[in-house]
Amino acid sequence: MMQTTIQYNSKTYQIDLSDPLDISIPLKADKSNLTAWYVDAPTFEPVKGDGFIGDVNQGGSVNFRNIFFNPHGHGTHTECVGHISKENYTINQCLKEFFFLAEVVSIIPTKQAADLVITLDQIKSVWNNNNAKAIVIRTLPNGSDKLSMQYSSTNPPFIAFEAVQFLIDSGIEHLLIDTPSVDKENDNGVLKSHHTFWEYPHNTQLNRTITELIFVPETIDDGTYFINIQIASFENDASPSKPILYKILT
Ligand SMILES: [Zn+2]
């Protein structure tokens, strides 16, 4: 046990830091890595040159690999408004706090013609007004195929912009979801849910983040948690990320 006490909004919570619940998807150099947005699999390749090879198993002294991947297309990533803005806002500038009260919810997206949509009514029905700053949306069904899905051209589930509006009106600043996007895969570049969330360009919200392509295992129940959103310090609209949930003990 490594218990800590958190005082937040005049309430006291206890969590156990030695019991992290990782909801990120590993990123690997393999065809079984998930892909979205028409990218190929990631590659990890040893650096070669001047008699050097960055691979211990091929005679090198160290493993020293170049990695080629796409933050949006290859796994769990956290993005800021820089994803849709002309201005070069970066996730490293925008995400300045890393612990938040979070609500985990599960939703079976609603079939609407060819789409599967998380609707305003569905979000309202699972919403528990408890000062959470983050919401973690698990879509059902929740098979382990989410770890290796080849999403391109599959029109994955997304969230209606009215539901996004409700969440920001309710105080949500960090939206996490297990689909490749909060918007429809092919919406001719409108990205209404992204624009609604960041209020871009009229009232741009730099501190808000969207995390996509998480995986929330069945062993994690719906309910209230603390979340630690970890990124790499990329000066880019998005970074691979590692969101970690902590159960509330009291
Ligand atoms: Zn993205």
What are 93-123's pLDDT values in tens digits? 999 999 999 999 999 999 999 999 999 999 9
Ligand 1 centroid, distance to 14 Cα (angstroms): 32
| Residue range 154-174: mean pLDDT, rounded | 98
Ligand 1 centroid, distance to 4 Cα (angstroms): 33
Ligand 1 centroid, distance to 16 Cα (angstroms): 30
Average pLDDT of the chain to the nearest whole number:
97
| Residue range 225-246: mean pLDDT, rounded | 98
CB atoms within 10 A of CB 100: 20
Ligand 1 centroid, distance to 181 Cα (angstroms): 6
Ligand 1 centroid, distance to 225 Cα (angstroms): 24
Q: Cβ distance 247 to 227 under 8 Å?
A: no
Q: Cβ distance 15 to 250 under 8 Å?
A: no
Ligand 1 centroid, distance to 81 Cα (angstroms): 11
What are 10-22's pLDDT values in tens digits? 999 999 999 999 9
Strands (E), 75-200: 77-79, 99-107, 110-112, 115-118, 134-139, 158-159, 174-177
Question: Residue 129 has what pLDDT?
Answer: 79
Res 200 pLDDT > 90: yes
Q: Cβ distance 243 to 23 under 8 Å?
A: yes
* Structure letter (DSSP) for residue 107: E
What are 29-83's pLDDT values in tens digits? 999 999 999 999 999 999 999 999 999 999 999 999 999 999 999 999 999 999 9
CB atoms within 10 A of CB 85: 16
Question: Residue 130 has what pLDDT?
Answer: 82
Query: 250 falls in which pLDDT band (50, 70, 90)?
Result: confident
Ligand 1 centroid, distance to 194 Cα (angstroms): 10
Res 148 pLDDT > 90: yes
Res 209 pLDDT > 90: yes
Ligand 1 centroid, distance to 213 Cα (angstroms): 8
Ligand 1 centroid, distance to 40 Cα (angstroms): 16
**Distance (Å, whole) CA 75 – CA 41:** 11
pTM flag (> 0.95): yes
- Classified as helix, coil or strand, 197 is helix
